[in-house]
Amino acid sequence: MTGMDVAAVRTFVAVVEAGQFQEAAADLSITPQAVSKRVAALESELGVRLFTRDARGARTTIDGQAFLPHARALLQAAERAVDSVRPGGRALRVDVIGRRACMAGLLRGFNAARPDIALDVVTLFDFDAAIAAVEAGTIDATFRAVTMPGSRLPHGVEAAPVFDEPLHLFTGPDHVFADAAAITPARLAGQRVWMPGNMPGTEWAAYYDAFAADFGAVIDTGGPNFGIDHLFDTIAESTTLVTFIGERTPLVWPAGHSLRRIPITDPVPVYPHSLVWRSDNPHPALAALRDHLASAYPGRPESGVWVPEWTRPEAA
């Protein structure tokens, strides 16, 4: 191996994040053919296949999954090298966990209000990695539900609530709750809520564990996590399974599934998104982001909503 092509590695990561070669091409402002050529060259250099392609898009192979964290680390190192000598500094780098989640929508709102501020949107998986990146200065801010049980923010790292996202119940057309206009958390006692993406140790797993403890729902994390399309298929066909979806999470499913989103009320469980940043971060755009989010946040009502005890100010 004579040298890793950074552009090819960046293309590989873009395909992983987009799930399709064509969407990755749009993200990178190149042609799909150029994406295919770069990935093929990288696969040839590594001597392995990184993707399998089917009607649903591009999926990483076992080798692709093994290569991904190292590819991201290589890109971060390359970016730091460039940033160290780039006049004028870099774009404001913010972590949103997932690009379909509502936090990405909050950032899109900021981008619409302040198109003059360059944004670099990244997706870090777990709480510890995101907070460590904030503390190290490799990202400027992250959206998280803080603090998790047993966790505290490092000295010099601050957080402020910016959005409370109501939960919806997600069911198939033949579930007993399918025709309900709304449902209370108490009615979910004993109900099997399938959430295969709830990895132990993540903030969202801690959130739903707290919900289950308070209201008696059964959070089932079993079975392989094949992604959102498989979740849609399974919920649509089931008369017993439900799952939770954030009110602001944009989803599109096949018309034949007839899936239902049902508001949860009395109380309304909300996922408490906070912005986390390092207090001495010098990036000039960070204050603008904080001000924008603070101006749009009405504050949490004193009654009528539910959040885990460990997210309440008195528990911090």
Residue in the structure block whose two tokens are 């379909």: 100
CA angle 36, 40, 41 (to 5 degrees): 120
On whether the CB atoms of residues 114 and 258 are closer than 8 A, the answer is no
- Quick one: average pLDDT of 194-202? 84
For the segment(s) 92-163+272-315, the CATH number from 3.40.1030.10, 3.30.420.40, 3.40.50.300, 3.40.190.10 is 3.40.190.10
Residue in the structure block whose two tokens are 């870090």: 124
The answer to whether the 6-83 and 166-269 domains have the same CATH topology is no
Q: Which residues pair with 193 in a beta bridge?
A: 219, 242
Residue in the structure block whose two tokens are 């990178």: 28
Q: Tens digit of pLDDT for each residue in 250-283? A: 777 777 788 999 999 999 999 999 999 999 998 8
Return the SS3 of 202: coil
Q: Tens digit of pLDDT for each residue in 240-257? A: 999 999 888 877 777 778
For the segment(s) 6-83, the CATH number from 2.40.50.140, 1.10.275.10, 1.10.10.10, 3.30.360.10 is 1.10.10.10
What is the CATH topology of the domain spanning 166-269? D-Maltodextrin-Binding Protein; domain 2 (3.40.190)
What one-letter code names the amino acid at 69? P
Residues 6+ apart with CB under 8 A from 193: 208, 212, 217, 218, 219, 220, 241, 242, 243, 244
Residue in the structure block whose two tokens are 């006049």: 87
> Domain residue spans in the chain?
6-83, 92-163+272-315, 166-269
Residues 6+ apart with CB under 8 A from 88: none
Residue in the structure block whose two tokens are 């964290």: 69
Q: Looking at the chain, how many residues does it have?
A: 316
- Distance between CA 247 and CA 263 in Å, rounded? 8
Angle between helices 6-18 and 32-46 in degrees, nearest 10? 110
In the 8-state DSSP scheme, what is residue 101? S
pLDDT of amino acid 314? 47
On whether the CB atoms of residues 240 and 178 are closer than 8 A, the answer is no
pLDDT of amino acid 86? 59
pLDDT tier at 227, thresholds 50, 70, 90: confident
- Distance between CA 218 and CA 7 in Å, rounded? 45
